[in-house]
Structures are given as structure tokens and as C-alpha cells.
Structure 1
Amino acid sequence: MTQHTLTGLALACLACLACINAHAQGVATDAQLAPVTVNGTASKTGLPAAVPGTTASKTAEQLREQNLFNPEDALNYAPGTTVRKRYLGDRNALLAGRSFGTLQPSRALVYLDGYLISNFLGRFDAPRWNMISPEAIARVDLLYGPFSALFPGNSIGTTVAVSQRVPQGFELSGRLIASSQKFKQYGRSERFDAGQFSLHVANRFDGGLWLSADLNHQDATSQPMQYQTVVANAAGNFPAAAGTATTVTGIVYDTDPKGLKRAVFGANSGAIDHTVQDTLNLRGGLMLTPTLEASAMVSWWRNDTETRNDSWLRDAAGNTVWSGVVTDGTNHFSIPPSGFAPYTRLETHQQLGATLKTKRGPGWNGSLVVSDYRLLKDANRQANNPAPVATNGGAGSLTLRDGTGWDTAEVQASYTPTAGDWGGGRHSLALGLHRNGYRLENAVNAAADWRNDTGSQTQFYGGKTEVTAVYVQDAWRLTDDWLLTLGWREERFKAFAGRQLGGGVTVNYDGRTLTGSSPKAALAWAATDRLLLKASLGRGVRFPNVEELYNGTVTATSQTLSDPTLKAETGDAFELSAEQDWDRQRLRVSLYWDDVRDAILRQSTTDAAVCKTTATGASSYTCVQNVDRVKTNGIELAWQAQDLALKGLALEASAAYTFKSEVTANSRDPAMVGKWWLRVPRTRAAVQASYRPAAQWLFAAGWRHQGRAYNDTYNLDVNPNVYGGVSKVNQLDVRGAYKFSRQLELALGINNLTDQQAYQSHPYPGRTLFAELRFQR
């Protein structure tokens, strides 16, 4: 499609809106034709009514049947979903889905009330879950696959829509929650605690005005996230260490994920994270006229992080050894000063959003939504030396990302027919114009005193990206039992202002423009009153983010190599599903196929040859590259039952089996061909059961399973159930609650009841106890 055509479509969208009152539901309009349903009508969700593809959902009432500490916990038992949440309060809780792992987080979209909170700035920038107060969640909905034209190309994997409570009157509620885990690893045991307070107050006034305020405060400390290690070669020999060695005790030996002998010296690189976070979310809405509604949101999030490390090494006098050449009498090792260096981080984020929409029932409606997310302050201070030297100051670095952020704007028109309208009342139309822009500035300053010195800039990388899109989607009810949904999305990507500074040399990158076309089609047939069959076909185009294009960071121990010439990854997806309803249960079976070309892969390795760099000397390398083709297919089952064997008993279960997820072509690295795609497990499963014997009692249990997955490009990690691997997960969670009155409820719970060890490179938490007191007026 030419630029003139793109502009013409955009003007057509605006012309449609000029003929009607402006209306906004953001990217997910709720004014489309209701889909073919079985056993009743579709429930109100945060997704479009005529959404093609498979969905899943959780309501606030259902979420109270599990141990929910952070908002992302709402997805713990979602079909075909992995949440890489390493500890309570983790700011990098990444999402993975059917055909993508947590190394491809930009294949997931997350919205809060229609406002984008997905962070497509960097690899470890997860969705900004912090902007959500758990107490304010009304429901969470998921859409699998790039089957709707209403969503950007990042919907190539999974789309999550979080809806917050809108008051119908005066509301006051809150909760206090405390947790504690006893974490055991490498023969050591330590207790780590966390706590949280949430408050929700809202009111709807006469005249249509409503206001809501949510406050969330949490204080949490993680278990150790990573360890200082040295790995031997295939012959079992460790690298030579020159210099006079200090004889120490405390070195632990194990086997790393690739089956090589490994020496472990303690928890390092800011392994134990103490984080204090505060979120304030203010929302409001007003019916300007009987058919025109405006709403707005402003949110702030602040994080104050302080980390510490734990060296296990002791000299002959019992003193802790943090760096230098050490020996246990058998092997010699060199530990760099930065190995056990701590860091601190202070962050303040702000999100602004405004929505205008008409609510006129059938006929034409329109919507306008704008949002802006900004990192007002992001200062990461890293010491060059370990404790106790770093406690008293000394050299280090300061990384600043102030001003980084993104903004979005969307204008959309939708048409919902009535009998006798255009198309015989069988067509429902949505069309719109979308734009988002991302800006990243990452500056590294050398600081004489890492605790408070501003220093002078030694490294920098940054740039901007912009996506403009037009789309149209028509849901056409062919007959009472058949619904055909057709859509098209045309996107234009622009990358510009890319720049790197390193080694005293500044490199400016030329701007680039890419385009992507995404056709969509879905056909649903209500074969009987209780059986729905659906076929969905769609394409998603995921453009590279700023960090993937321009990051060139070098530290004392690591090197990052991005690629400013990256292509967009294009995914073609196909799904066949069947949903059968009975009086008290529902079963869905889905078969899915994903074919991704030019898949964007970011990988970390200790082998410089993997990243094809001659700049050796670092202990780890990270690089980004396109992989020619990756194919994934599998089957997924989801089952729900209510009062099936016992009144008050609710059951949910899902299971997925991946037949294949492998690289089928890669001219840049042929050795990858035939290898399993990273961090996509062969099996996933979840089971939830809740029982309410009386109105005041709740007993619930949940089980989460994930099969082992690969963390190595060439699938050489044959020993996954250790630190650094991607292990199987089998965790049992339980919860019990008692309502003293309508206003007051006490809940006790345990996550990972059997204290199973699991890893997704980092270790997952051990057995964790919860106590929660909730109140509501």
C-alpha cells in the first residue's frame, strides 16, 4: 500500500468521525456486533464484542480465590500463559505465550482501561504492572493471537486487557497483606518478607460525575536472584588465575545447565533486592451529554531499590572475602571487584490518559483516546567495588533514563446495526487510526562517588520509533448461526534519532521506514445451541524496539550488541477451536499454528562467537538478531465447571501440548535450524478449585505446571533444573478465607506449598506464606 493510500484511509477515518459525535473506547471498542454465542449472550469484557480468536478471563471475585499480591498474579493460571515473576515486587514480570518465550516480551500487549502499559523500550522492561492497584481490578481478559485488526502488531502473541472498577455509588475498600518465604539454595537458608497496603475510594454523584482514587504501598525483599560463578571447560579445568591467592572456605561446586562443572562463590550483582514502591491512581468520568462521556486517568509510581550481595568466602581468620584471587587448595579463581558490587535505583513514573466516547447504542459511535507515559526520574547507581568498600563510597557509574517514555493516540468509529439497517442489520463495522511513539535515552556517567556523584557521560544510546496505522474490521452475520469477521491493518514504522556513544566515539544512525500489512479473517459457526466452532486466520507485524536497534552498552563484565538494521518480525497464525457448553460446565479445544518470519531474538551467552564479535574479554555477551523462520503448533484445552459434583464447588483446568516449536530456517546461523525455540515449553497446565460451603467460608487450591524449556540457542542446556536453566515448574498453591461480616474478611494462603525449586534462569521463590485482611464498606 502506498503512502498516498495510507493517507487517504486516515482522512476517511477522520471524515467519518466528523459526521458524528467523537467517541472513544480506545483500541477495544465495545460497540461492535455481539458474536455468535452458545448458551446465552456474551458477557461484558475489556475486549471488543466481536473479537475473533480465543479468549480467557478472570473477574475480581475469581481473583480473590487465589493469593494475589501483584497485578500480574492474575495471569498465574491463565491458559497458555507464563508470567516470569521472580519475586514479590518484581518490576520485570515478563509475559510469554503459546509460541513465544520471555525473551520475546514485545509479542504481548497489555492495556489498562484501554491505555497502553506495555513497555516496548527494552528487553527487561516488562509491562508497567505498577500502574495497577490490585484492589481496583474489576476483571482481566486475554486474547490469543493476532486475529483482530483493532490491535497493533505486537498482538502477534497475547493481548491482555485489565479493567478497573467504575463506581456505581460510594465505595471504600482496602486490604493489608503480609508474606514470608524461607528460601533455600546451595545449602543456605534465609527468610525474606514482604508487605502491601491497598486502598480504594470512589463515588458516583448525581449528574453523571464519578471519581476514583487508588493507593498502593508495598515493601518487599527478594531471594537471591543470581550468583557469582566460574565455569570449567569440557575437560573440567577452570580458567587460570594469576597472582597470589587467598585460601578460603565456602566455595560450592555444582553442574551448570550445559553439564559443565561450576564453582559458586555467593549471591552477586545486587542479588537481593529490597524495593519500596508506591502507586497513586486517580480516575474520573463525566457524562457531558446523555450520549457523550469523557474520562481521564493520572497515575504515579515510585520505586526505591537498594540491593545487597552475599559472599560465602571466608579467609583463615573468618573474614569475608569479596574479590581477588582465591583458592580452596585445589582450584584458583579470580573474582573481579565488580562481581559483588551493589546498586541502588530510584524511579518515578507518570501516566496520563484521556478518553472521549459516545454511547448511543445501535448506529454510529466514535472514540478518541490519548495517553502519555513518562519516566520522570530513573537513576541507577552502580558501585565498582564490593561491600564494605562500596558502603563508604568509591568509584561507580550512574545510568539515567529521565525523559524516556511513550505516547499513544487513537481515533475510532464503529457501527452497530439494528434490523432493517444497512446490510440487513447483519454488518458491524469498526475503523480507525492509531499512532504510538517511543523515545529512549540511556546515558551512563562515570561517578567518582557512586552514591551521590553526577559524574560525566561516558556512554549513551537512544533513539525514537513511531508507528502509524489505519485499520478496518467488519463482523458480518451471514445467517443466525454464522459470523464472518474480516479485517485489515496497515502499519508504517519509522525509526530515527538513533545514536550511540562509546569509547569516546559517537555514531549517528540514519532513519529507517518499514511498512507492514496484516489481513485478518475469522469464521464462527454455532453448530448447535451448545456447540461453537471457530476458525481464525491472521497476521501480526512486530517492529523492533529502540533498545533492540541501538543498545551498545559495555560494562566491566558484559557487552551488548544490538542491530540498527533489524527487520520486523511477521507472524502468520491459524487457529481452529471448538467450544461445547453443558448446563454446568464448558470445554474448549484449540489447535493452533504459528509461522514467524524474521523472528527477533535476543540472547545472552558467555561465548563471544555466538554473538559474532571479536571484542572478547567480557564474561557475558548479549546480542539481537533476526532468525529467518520459526514454526510452532500445538493443542490447548480449557475446562470450567460450577456446582458439578458439589454445590459451591468451582473448577477450572487448562492443558497445552506443543507439538513443535523450532527454527526451520536461519541463513545467518544455520546451526540453529532444527533447534527448539527458546523458553517455549512442550507442556503447560493449570488447575484451580474453589469451594464455598457457606457464604462466609472459602477454600481454594491451584496447581501450576510448565515443562522444561531451552535457554540456549543450540539446545545445549541438558541440565535445566539448576540456576541458569529453564526448569520444569510444578507448584501447588492453597488459600482459605473467612468473612467475619460483609465488611471484613481474613485470608491465609501458601504459594509453592511443597517448596519445589524452579528456575527461569533466576530461581523462583520457595514456599511463601500469606496473610491478608480485606475490608469494604
Structure 2
Amino acid sequence: MPISRSPLATSISLGLACCLPAHAEEADGPPAGTAGAAAMQSIVISAGSTPPAAGLPAYAIGKTQEELRQQQNIFNPEDALRNLPSLTIRKRYSGDRNALVGGRSFSTSQAPRALVLMDGYLLSNFLGRFDAPRWNMVAPEEMARIDVLHGPFSAVYPGNSIGTTIAITTSKPTAFSGSARVATQVQEYDNYGLKDRYHNYQASALIGDRLASGLWYKLMVNHQDSTSQPMQYYAVNANAAGAFPAAGSGPATPVSGVVYDTAPAGLRRAVFGANAGAIDHTRQDTVKTSLGYDFGASLSAEAFLAWWRNDSENSNASLLRDAAGNTVWSGRVSDGANVFNIPAGAFAPFLREERHLQGGFTLKTGRKTGWNGSAVLSRYKILDDTQRNAGVADPFAPAGGAGTAVQRGGTGFRSLELQARYTPVPGDWTGGGHALTFGLHASDYALRQASRSLPDWRSVAGAETQFVGGATQLLGAYAQDAWRFLPGWAATFGLRAEKWEASDGVQRFTPGPAENYAPRREHAWSPKLSLAWSAANGLDLRLSAGRGTRFATVAELFQGTQSGPAIVVSDPTLKPERSTALELRAEQRFADGSLRASAFQDDVRHTIWTQLDLTVFPNVASTQNVGRVRTRGLELAGTADRLGIRGLSLDANIGFSKSVILENAAYQPSLGKRWVRVPHVRSATTLLYAPLQSWSLAATWRYSGRQFNEINNTDINPDVYGGLSRQKQLDVRLLLRPAPGAELSVGVDNLNDYRAYQSHPFPGRTLFAEARYAF
């Protein structure tokens, strides 16, 4: 496949090849008990030598806590992912609950293709369109490492792994220990005529111990107070001739402050200010308790319980001023050139209160060889989630008035994983060459969402106007065999069978009719095959093929609602996504680094896509199937531990991908167009200078190329609000260790203050400071 490279991308990839040393040495294989141990010797592409998290295939890409602390300014847990290959993290601001993940072949608006786990417990939240993984259930302080693998190549994971699987491993105490951390950010932001300074604060503490009895415990608390830059703007587009819509008749207030620009589709646009709760002031708290007990050398149990709270105040800012300098929020206005009619609720604020609870329990054996088993049970429940929307603009809303509310209390999910694994020894009944895995999976999701009309938006007391609900269940069984059939050769065969059901779907209006959706059932078989060869000293080759089926979420099927400034149109007849993926990987290990190249293809039928229309108020998001989308690409990643200067190292990656819509009967103009929100080029290059243990200096250049937001690729002007722009960002970090256990760091994210958009604007230049003490 021909791929057009930008000069920046070409220079980075050539730099990777030139900087790595030219001699190789034999590397140690993965530890016994991991999936790769029975397959072949392999490595984690990482500056460190720590093996991958237990249960992950050995070709996962990972970083340890030490690497992350040296290389990146991490305010929220999801920041740890932003420099890993072929990943996009749609974190719009610190404290964003919609920090979605995008991968090689899927966009950040396709959250159900990213499977996120914490110690084997599901963090992915497939309960709403913008429900990102619940990063809040883990604090940066307790992340021991993070690992990522792409594609549906392991039978162990359900269909949501067809995009990317992310495994977070948290620390467990070996003795009495603890740590405390405080961090702050300051952002100067100036865009579309609004200029302000925004502050974020975070504090966390961690304490734990392992007792002689075999009991261990850990307590984590985290508090965050943060404020976003404006996230969206009220705007009106002109037609192709440049004329704005008629604004009715009657007197118009003369105003100044209207900002004109060109919208993503190339139309002239008038911008009036930040609206729809654009500025989010959020206060979040997490409390988590973890316990474990070792019954002996080969049997252990552990459990955790986490509670998260969020209170958000979402406000707005109008650009319009009358002749006396007073702010104008609504009504018929004129700037002397055009007349506009601004709805009364365009600049209405809203409040949101959330209380979430998650718990999990694991029982497992840990023999080095032979049979091992595990049982993992988890439960996630939204205790309360209430959003109250005012009906009038910010300065009038505190006095009360009519409004609406949306409540999601009682929504949640459960999961159960039972697994048996066999690790061979030479000459056993398998011939010493087969590592076996068998498992059963069960999960269910329940949606309960009520909309209310409020006489006074300051109180949630009001009549229900709409209720949507439904449930999905998934049952799966899988088997996998990693067979070392010749010296240096291994094959992994896997098969996953799944049964999915949707039920109890309902949409009820008061007053009005109720619609009850008929139950649905689907089945899927997902075969996997991987062939690995240790071709030479330090060189591994692997060819992988896999199919995966991602069923529609309960939200995609049933969550058709209006919530404040947004209307969501769901589809209870959605077909499941079916992915057929291929990957050829080559990994070369050197004495002072590593280099990996991956060529991949992902062919997905019935892609589930939610198209957002920002050109109307309220915004409309409609969910649909797209017949066939194919992605082909190439990815390079590598590390060099010594670059001729003591303490200087390199960690870099670059990925090229081309996603094309091949079939879409519902919308022919999209055929042959590029798939949405998948950039053609993504890269991250980190230079780390750590000559002494007492200090280090890191700089990271991140680049993300051109992408589209519309499936017909009509958004031709990407570098404005609503567009999907390139991202060119330089981050720097200085870490000091003045005394044992003490760390001080300062840094700047987006030092070059590059203005980037993924529909919403990303942060500008942000100063970061952190203090940490561990004992």
C-alpha cells in the first residue's frame, strides 16, 4: 500500500533507525506463566526490563511507573497513554470524564473498541456514548505499569478488544509503605475572543502494608479541583452564498464582539461565545480500599472497593456587549452587518452530581507449572448521576426558573471471568510444548435514564417526561493453545464463542406512548491464529490473524434522549461490528535498545458510528451502521538506552495508517472517503537525559496528522472549533530527587502553545508542578 509521508514523519522514522545500535545480544524470555512464555522469547517495547503484566501476551507495549515519572507530566491516569504507539487520548482538559481512547483503526468516538482493565477488573464504561473508561478508579500514585496491545489476536479478551486492550497494573505493598503527592497546573488560554487563566489542583495519598500472616492492605485517596478552558461555542453558519439565516422581525439590540471565522465545512461562521456549559469546574474525590490474603504459596485472594464523587458547575461566557458595555446573552441582536436571533437557552448553565461505586474480588492459584485457575468478579454501579440544566442564561439562572434534568442512578454493569491455565514442563503429558488456556466469561449492562421537567432547575423535583432503559448480556467461552512445536517456532491457536442478548429495551414519554423493543439475540465465533519464529539472535518474527465481534452497547441501542444542549438518536436494530485483522511484526533486540516494525490490516464490517451534527442547536448525534471500513498501516517503535552521552536515551514511535470506507449503502457519498478521526500519521519522540539518580530532564515531541470528522470528508477547514486539526506539541519535564523518597518536578505541556482541536479545543500551554514523598 503506498503511503505518503510528511517530512516530519520521515525524519522521525529515519532517526529511529539511525540512532539504534547495530549489534545484538540474546535477551531473556518472558517469565513462566505469561502467555508468551510458552510461545517464544519476546520483549516489551520499553526502556525498562520489567516483564509485561501477568496474563498479557508478551508482545504488549508497556511503560513502568519509573519510566512514566521520568518522561511525562502526569496529572490524570490517562496521561500515561499519550506517548504510546498508535494511540490517541481525547483528554480535553484535566478532570475530563470523557477522556476517550482512539487506536489504529478506530476513533475516539468509538469508545467500545477500547478495552481497559485495572488488575483484571473492567474500567471501560460502555454505558453512554461519551462514557470514557473510569480512569478515576485509579490514581497516578498507584500505577505500577501500563501495557497496551492492538487487535483481536487473543481469545482471552471479549469483542471490545478488536481495537485496543489497555491493562493497568497497580502496586501492591511488600512492607509498610506509603506516599503522598500534590500536583498543580496553570493554563493561560486565549481563543475566540475569550482569555483567562485556569488552575487545576490534585492531591493523593497511598498507604499499605503486608503482614506476616499473609494479609496485605492498601488505601488510596485522591482529590482533584480543576477548571477547563471553553469547550464549545455558540455559532451560526452562513449558507454557501455567505448569507446568514433570517432572524425574524422586530427591534434588534446593537452589539459588538461577534467573531467571524470559517467553519470546518468551509462556510462563513459567526461565533457569539462559549455555551452549553462550556467551562467545566469539577471537584472529584476517589477513595479506594484494596485487600489481599495469601493462603499459601499457591493460593491467594484479593478484593477492592472504590467510591468516586464528582460535582461539576458548567458555566458559559458571552462575547456580546451592548452600547453601554453590558453583556448580552440572548434575543435579537445586530452587529451592524448581520442580524441574529440567539435562543434564550443558548448560554444556559448546568450542574452535575455523580456518585459511582465499583468493587471486585479475585481468587487465584499461582503455581509455576501445571494447572492454575482464577475467578474474577466485578460490579460497577452508578449510585447517582443527576444533571440539572437551566432554561435561561448564566446571569439569570441563579434566580431559578424552569429547566430540565437527566438522571442515571441505578445504571451499571457486572462481569465474571473464570479461567484455567496450564503451564507445561519438559516431558509432561503435552510433550512439554503446549500452554493451554480455557475460560468462561459473563457480563451484563443495565441502562436506566430518566428525563424530568423542572419548575425550578435548582431542584431535581419535577415530573418525568421521558424514560429510556434496557439491558444487554454477553456469555463467552474460549480456548487457546500456545504450542512450541519446533525449537524457535511457536503457534498459538485460539477460539472464542459468544452469545449476546439485548432485552428490556423501552422508551416511554409522559404524556405520550411507550415503545417496548423486542429482545434480540446474536452469536459469534472468533478464531485466532499466530505463528512466531525466533529467526536469529535477538530477532523475532510474528504473523497474527484474528476475528473479533463487538456487539452494540446498551447505550447505542436504547439511549435516545435529549439532555440540555444535545439530542441522541439510538438504533435498537444495530448489527454487531465484525473485525478481521492481520499483523506482521518484527522485533529486534540490541544490547542498548530495541526496534519493532508492524504492518497491519483491520477490515471491519458493520462499523457502529455515531455522527454528531454541531451545526444545529441542540446538537444531534445519530447512531448507525457503516457497511465496511478497512485500515492498513505501518508502525515503527524503538528505544536506545545510550546515544553517545552518558544518561541520554531515546524512546520513539511513529505510525502510518489509512482507513477507507469501502461500503456504506445508507450514504453513498462516503464511499472511498477516509474514516473519521483516524490520523494518517501519529508519532511521539522522547529524549531523556538522566546522568544521575538525583535528577533527569525529558522532552517529548508529539505529532498527529490530518483527520476528518465527517464520513464524506467535507470538513475541509480543520484548524478551527469543530474541526479535527493536526497536533504538534512539545512537552518538557525536570525531575529532581533531593533526598531519599522525595521528588520535585516542574514541566510545561504544549510548550509551543500550539492550538489544536478534536471538535473541542485541546489545552494550550500549561505549566505543571508536582511534589511527591514516598516511604
Q: TM-score range by the shorter chain?
A: over 0.9
Q: How many residues align?
A: 738
Q: Secondary structure at the match of 1:422?
A: coil
8 A Cα contact 2:226 2:281, kept in partner: yes
CA–CA distance in structure 1, aligned partners of residues 499 and 178 of structure 2: 45
Q: Are 1:68 and 2:51 counterparts?
A: no
What is aligned with 1:318? Answer: 325
State the one-letter code of the partner of 2:60. Answer: T
Q: Secondary structure at the match of 1:476?
A: strand
- The match for 1:742 among 735, 740, 743 is 740
- The match for 2:392 among 385, 391, 400 is 385
* Shift, 1:540, TM fit: 1.0
CA–CA distance in structure 2, aligned partners of residues 384 and 30 of structure 1: 56
CA–CA distance in structure 1, aligned partners of residues 115 and 450 of structure 2: 27
Q: Secondary structure at the match of 1:775?
A: strand
What is aligned with 2:540? Answer: 532
8 A Cα contact 1:103 1:678, kept in partner: no
CA–CA distance in structure 1, aligned partners of residues 499 and 112 of structure 2: 17
Task: Give a deviation string over 1:423-451, Cα, whole Å, max 9, x none.
Answer: 21100000010001001111111011111
Q: Are 1:518 and 2:523 counterparts?
A: no
What is aligned with 2:62? Answer: 57
CA–CA distance in structure 1, aligned partners of residues 468 and 617 of structure 2: 19
Q: Secondary structure at the match of 2:287?
A: strand
8 A Cα contact 1:39 1:530, kept in partner: no
What is aligned with 2:20? Answer: none
Structure 1 residues 647 and 34, CA, compared in 2 at 3 Å: closer, same or farther?
Answer: farther
Structure 1 residues 263 and 31, CA, compared in 2 at 3 Å: closer, same or farther?
Answer: closer
* Shift, 1:292, TM fit: 1.0
Q: How does 1:333-732 map to 2 (within 5 A)?
A: 333-502=340-509, 504-554=512-562, 558-605=566-613, 619-658=618-657, 660-732=658-730
* Shift, 1:622, TM fit: 1.4
CA–CA distance in structure 1, aligned partners of residues 49 and 688 of structure 2: 24
What is aligned with 2:219? Answer: 213
Q: Secondary structure at the match of 1:340?
A: coil
8 A Cα contact 2:194 2:319, kept in partner: no
Structure 1 residues 579 and 30, CA, compared in 2 at 3 Å: closer, same or farther?
Answer: closer
What is aligned with 1:4? Answer: none
CA–CA distance in structure 2, aligned partners of residues 344 and 225 of structure 1: 16
What is aligned with 1:614? Answer: none
Which region of structure 1 is more displaced relative to structure 2, 556-565 or 86-95?
A: 556-565
List runs of 5+ in structure 2 lacking aligned partners.
1-31
CA–CA distance in structure 2, aligned partners of residues 527 and 37 of structure 1: 11
8 A Cα contact 2:104 2:678, kept in partner: yes
What is aligned with 2:12? Answer: none
What is aligned with 2:337? Answer: 330
Q: Secondary structure at the match of 1:253?
A: strand
* Shift, 1:550, TM fit: 1.1
Task: Give a deviation string over 1:158-186, Cα, whole Å, max 9, x none.
Answer: 00000000111111111111110001102
Structure 1 residues 39 and 749, CA, compared in 2 at 3 Å: closer, same or farther?
Answer: closer
What is aligned with 1:303? Answer: 310
* Shift, 1:111, TM fit: 0.2
CA–CA distance in structure 2, aligned partners of residues 223 and 288 of structure 1: 51
Which region of structure 1 is more displaced relative to structure 2, 649-658 or 77-86?
A: 649-658
Task: Give a deviation string over 1:328-382, Cα, whole Å, max 9, x none.
Answer: 1111111111110000111011101000001122001111010000001111111
8 A Cα contact 2:650 2:688, kept in partner: yes
Task: Give a deviation string over 1:361-409, Cα, whole Å, max 9, x none.
Answer: 2001111010000001111111011121111111111110001110000
8 A Cα contact 2:38 2:484, kept in partner: no
* Shift, 1:643, TM fit: 2.0
What is aligned with 2:17? Answer: none
8 A Cα contact 2:735 2:743, kept in partner: yes
State the one-letter code of the partner of 1:559. Answer: I
* Shift, 1:249, TM fit: 0.8
| Structure 1 vs Structure 2 CA RMSD | 1.6
* Shift, 1:743, TM fit: 2.0
CA–CA distance in structure 1, aligned partners of residues 40 and 550 of structure 2: 30
* Shift, 1:43, TM fit: 4.5
* Shift, 1:306, TM fit: 0.5
* Shift, 1:32, TM fit: 6.9
8 A Cα contact 1:681 1:706, kept in partner: yes
State the one-letter code of the partner of 1:511. Answer: P
- The match for 1:184 among 185, 190, 194 is 190
- The match for 1:753 among 741, 748, 751 is 751
Q: Secondary structure at the match of 1:651?
A: strand
State the one-letter code of the partner of 2:593. Answer: Q
CA–CA distance in structure 1, aligned partners of residues 95 and 279 of structure 2: 12
Q: How does 1:178-257 map to 2 (within 5 A)?
A: 178-242=184-248, 243-257=250-264
Q: Secondary structure at the match of 2:476?
A: strand
Task: Give a deviation string over 1:686-743, Cα, whole Å, max 9, x none.
Answer: 0111111212111011111100210012100100011100000000000102111012
8 A Cα contact 2:175 2:211, kept in partner: yes
Over the matched positions of the two proteins, sequence identity in percent amounts to 50
TM-score (norm 1): 0.93
8 A Cα contact 1:679 1:711, kept in partner: yes
8 A Cα contact 2:715 2:723, kept in partner: yes
8 A Cα contact 1:585 1:644, kept in partner: no
Which region of structure 1 is more displaced relative to structure 2, 720-729 or 693-702?
A: 693-702
8 A Cα contact 1:292 1:358, kept in partner: yes
State the one-letter code of the partner of 1:689. Answer: L
8 A Cα contact 1:748 1:770, kept in partner: yes
Structure 1 residues 98 and 295, CA, compared in 2 at 3 Å: closer, same or farther?
Answer: same
What is aligned with 1:767? Answer: 765
State the one-letter code of the partner of 1:624. Answer: T
What is aligned with 2:290? Answer: 283
Q: Secondary structure at the match of 1:62?
A: helix
8 A Cα contact 2:653 2:684, kept in partner: yes
* Shift, 1:651, TM fit: 1.0
CA–CA distance in structure 1, aligned partners of residues 613 and 672 of structure 2: 20
CA–CA distance in structure 2, aligned partners of residues 531 and 589 of structure 1: 11
8 A Cα contact 1:483 1:523, kept in partner: yes
CA–CA distance in structure 2, aligned partners of residues 254 and 504 of structure 1: 43
Structure 1 residues 558 and 749, CA, compared in 2 at 3 Å: closer, same or farther?
Answer: closer
Q: Secondary structure at the match of 1:391?
A: helix
Structure 1 residues 467 and 681, CA, compared in 2 at 3 Å: closer, same or farther?
Answer: same
* Shift, 1:35, TM fit: 3.5
State the one-letter code of the partner of 2:403. Answer: G
List runs of 5+ in structure 1 lacking aligned partners.
1-27, 608-616
* Shift, 1:39, TM fit: 8.2
State the one-letter code of the partner of 1:171. Answer: S
CA–CA distance in structure 2, aligned partners of residues 49 and 129 of structure 1: 20
CA–CA distance in structure 2, aligned partners of residues 212 and 34 of structure 1: 33
CA–CA distance in structure 2, aligned partners of residues 708 and 253 of structure 1: 24
What is aligned with 1:19? Answer: none
State the one-letter code of the partner of 2:662. Answer: T
* Shift, 1:459, TM fit: 1.3
Q: Secondary structure at the match of 1:439?
A: strand
Q: Secondary structure at the match of 1:61?
A: helix
State the one-letter code of the partner of 2:106. Answer: F
Q: Secondary structure at the match of 1:444?
A: strand
CA–CA distance in structure 2, aligned partners of residues 573 and 191 of structure 1: 46
CA–CA distance in structure 2, aligned partners of residues 109 and 665 of structure 1: 26
8 A Cα contact 2:223 2:284, kept in partner: yes
